[in-house]
Amino acid sequence: MEENDIIVGLDIGTTKIATIVGQKDEFGKIEILGYGKTESIGVKRGVVINIEDTVTSIRTAVAQAGEKSDVDVKYVNVGIAGQHIKSIQHRGSLIREDAEKEITNTEVEKLISDMYKLNMSPGEEIIEVIPQDFIVDDEDGIRHPVGMLGNKLEANFHIIIGQIAAAKNIYKCIVKAGLEMADLILEPMASAQAVLSEEEKEAGVALVDIGGGTTDIAIFQDSIIRHTAVIPFGGDIVTEDVKEGCSIIRRHAEELKVKFGSALAEESKDNEVVAIPGLRGRPPKEITLKNLASIIQARMEEIIDHVHYEIKTSGFEKKLIAGIVLTGGGSQLKHVNQLMEFKTGIETRIGYPNEHLAKEVPEEMASPMYATGIGLVIEGIKRMESDIKTSKGDVEKSSDKPNAKKGETKERDFSGSRGFLGKVKKWFEDDN
């Protein structure tokens, strides 16, 4: 991969929209060239509900990142999440024309592309097809079938499904913001790239990304994605509970949660009190930290119960040797990992995205809040390297730059993008 191959991750979240510009350094680490962050006012529970507000926020975040990195941002890798996301397991098969010839990349790609043709419910579409393992003539557990001989090629797939309308709205926002979508990536997959080690994925681990509007789950075992789910609750609903329970305005509730909140009421003392400024002409309101923690704990326990249910449903609860890794803005809540351990009985740690970052990156970037954005950059780089490796086009194609330093020319053709993104682009063109 060339030194100038610059990848941009765009995390369209419920509470924030973050743009991260990065590239791989000579040591294989991610060098953050610039980043931008702004409040997200057009998104609810991971789904765009106001196009114009979202476009404004995207433009602001992209402009900040472009200015700091001196990069002319054009192509972005966008995360998709939301309560409409679900996943299924499916097996596909292919009878080969000549069993004496080696299995080729083309045959593997055909098996994957055939999965995009599965019939879905009205309004739903397959977002991503992830091969788990391959079977050649009933010999299972094969990771890389290319080069093998056999009459029948099969594969077990993890298929991620989402609402067409939600994806269309995201794409519409990207186009209106003057950008082009390089790829649409499932957010829990991106977060996993940022905070999980290969050893953890092999041992068995559940990634839990607690965002503002949703909590995303991705379960890995034997280095294979086994289960994904999106729970329609996150940090925002905790803030709402604090607002209602303490009878204060939302801004104060968020500040209270971030600065003094705890997920364990027993860790707070009864005599610890914080004063909130009163509304105009009214005296300050005193709130005990014990009461605050009780409100937060009740809602966090509900979210954790949903997470535990998904882990049990996956069938991998007893195989999570590496336990649970918490990330996202919600994981910064005090004592949340202890509450997770107590409620599930599974060892838990907080996941920081700094493992894959170069040493010179801003300290703020090492926060779990940016795990998805950094993961989008990492996944974008992986996909670009994979595309270059498997491309059979001319050599010049591999040197095209998706984004470039201001003043440089850049050309890149995304007409051959993955199945779902290609469909979204076609729908958008047809609508226009």
| DSSP letters spanning 396-413 | HHHT--SSEETT------
- Residues 6+ positions from 85 with CB-CB distance below 8 Å: 127, 160, 161, 162, 186, 228, 229, 230
Residues 6 or more apart whose Cβ sits within 8 Å of residue 325: 195, 196, 200, 205, 206, 207, 208, 348, 349, 350, 351
Backbone angles phi, psi at 199, to 5 degrees: -65, -40
Predicted local distance difference test score (pLDDT) of residue 372: 94
Output the six-digit token pair for 320: 């999570």
Q: What is the pLDDT of residue 432?
A: 65
Residues 220-267 have pLDDT tens digits of: 999 999 999 989 899 999 999 999 998 899 999 999 999 999 999 998
Q: What is the DSSP string of 23-76?
A: EE-TTSPEEEEEEEEEE--SEETTEES-HHHHHHHHHHHHHHHHHHHTEE--EE
Write out the DSSP string of 324-343: EEEESGGGGSBTHHHHHHHH
pLDDT at residue 322 tops 80? yes
pLDDT band at 402 (very low <50, low <70, confident <90, very high): low
Return the pLDDT at 245: 92
Average pLDDT over residues 110-126: 90
pLDDT of 301 above 90:
yes
Examine the pLDDT at 53 and tell me if it is beyond 80: yes
For the entire predicted model, the pTM comes to 0.86
Q: Which one has a higher pLDDT value, 81 or 3? A: 81
For the chain, the C-alpha Rg in angstroms (whole number) is 23
Choice among 13-22, 86-95, 252-261, 409-418 with the minimum mean pLDDT: 409-418
> 152: domain range?
86-160
Could you tell me which residue, 83 or 428, shows the higher pLDDT?
83
Q: Cα–Cα distances in Å, from 200 out to 173, 183, 323, 351, 411? A: 36, 26, 9, 12, 38
Mean pLDDT score of the chain? 87
How large is the average pLDDT for residues 345-349?
A: 96
Nearest-angstrom CA–CA distance, 350 and 78: 24
On the question of pLDDT at 83 being above 90, the answer is: no
What is the pLDDT, as a whole number, of residue 281?
78
Residue 110 pLDDT more than 70?
Answer: yes
Tokens linked to 6: 């610059």
pLDDT at position 68 over 60: yes
Q: What is the pLDDT of residue 269?
A: 81
* pLDDT for 428: 67
Residue 396, in any domain of the structure: no
Residue written as tokens 């609750």? Answer: 233
Mean pLDDT confidence for 59-75: 92
> Taking 50 as the threshold, does the pLDDT of residue 2 lie above it?
no
Mean pLDDT of 355-378: 88
pLDDT computed for residue 400 by the predictor: 52
Rounded percentage of the chain residues whose pLDDT exceeds 70: 90
Amino acid at 109: E
pLDDT confidence band for 393 (50 / 70 / 90): very low
Task: Count, in order, helices (H) and strands (E) of the chain.
Answer: 12, 20
413 pLDDT band (50/70/90 cuts)? very low
Partners of 230 in the β-ladder? 216
> How far is residue 342's CA from residue 235's CA, in Å, rounded to a whole number?
20
Instruction: Determine phi and psi for 247, rounding to 5 degrees.
Output: 55, 55
pLDDT tens for 159-216 read: 999 888 888 899 999 999 999 999 889 899 999 999 999 999 999 999 999 999 899 9
Q: State the sign of the Cα–Cα–Cα–Cα dihedral 243, 249, 250, 252.
A: negative
Report if residue 62 sits inside a domain: no
Question: Would you say the C-alpha torsion 412, 416, 419, 422 has a positive or negative sign?
Answer: positive
C-beta of residue 140 within 8 angstroms of C-beta of residue 133:
yes
Q: Has residue 282 got a pLDDT over 60?
A: yes
Query: Looking at residue 99, which CATH number applies to its domain?
Result: 3.30.1490.110
Burial 318-344 (b: 16+ CB within 10 A, else e): eebebbbbbbbbbbbbbbbbebbbebb
Q: Assess if residue 407 is contained within a domain.
A: no
Confidence of residue 303 (pLDDT cuts 50, 70, 90): very high
By CB atoms closer than 10 A (0-12, 13-18, 19+), residue 253 is buried
How are beta strands 43-44 and 205-210 bridged, if at all? unpaired
Question: Residue 417's pLDDT is what?
Answer: 43
Q: Looking at the domain assignment, is residue 299 inside a domain?
A: no
| pLDDT over threshold 80, residue 392 | no
Six token digits for residue 261: 């909140």
Domain-located, residue 115: yes
Total of domains in the chain: 1
- Identify whether 90 is part of a domain: yes
